[in-house]
Amino acid sequence: MKSTLSASPAYGRDYKSKAQLLADFKAGKDFLGFSMIERFEGYFSIRDKEELARKFDGIQFRYQKSTKTFIYKF
């Protein structure tokens, strides 16, 4: 079983809704990811989806000042 990548919007961005976050992710905006299990820390976007899917089951996105989360499954 693979792990889940934790991610937050990059460059100080924040989102009030899951829909806004997904729209920017699908548009290619950068996010900051972190995983201690897979030793990953850095910026990524949807362009890295295939590479990330080889290491992770999905991405746990944080939004609304990190008070809400959802998991994007590959």
pLDDT digits (tens, 9 = 90+) for 25-70: 999 999 999 999 888 999 999 999 999 999 999 999 999 999 999 9
Position 2 scores a pLDDT of 87
* pTM metric for this prediction: 0.91
Residues spanned by the domain of 49: 3-73
Other C-beta atoms lying within 10 Å of the C-beta of residue 27: 9
Is the pLDDT at 1 greater than 90? The verdict is no
Provide φ and ψ at 44, rounded to 5°: -150, 165
Tally of structural domains, the chain = 1
> Which string of DSSP letters, residue by residue, matches 6-72?
EEEESTT---SSHHHHHHHHHTT--EEEEETTTTEEEEE-GGGHHHHHHHEEEEEEEETTTTEEEEE
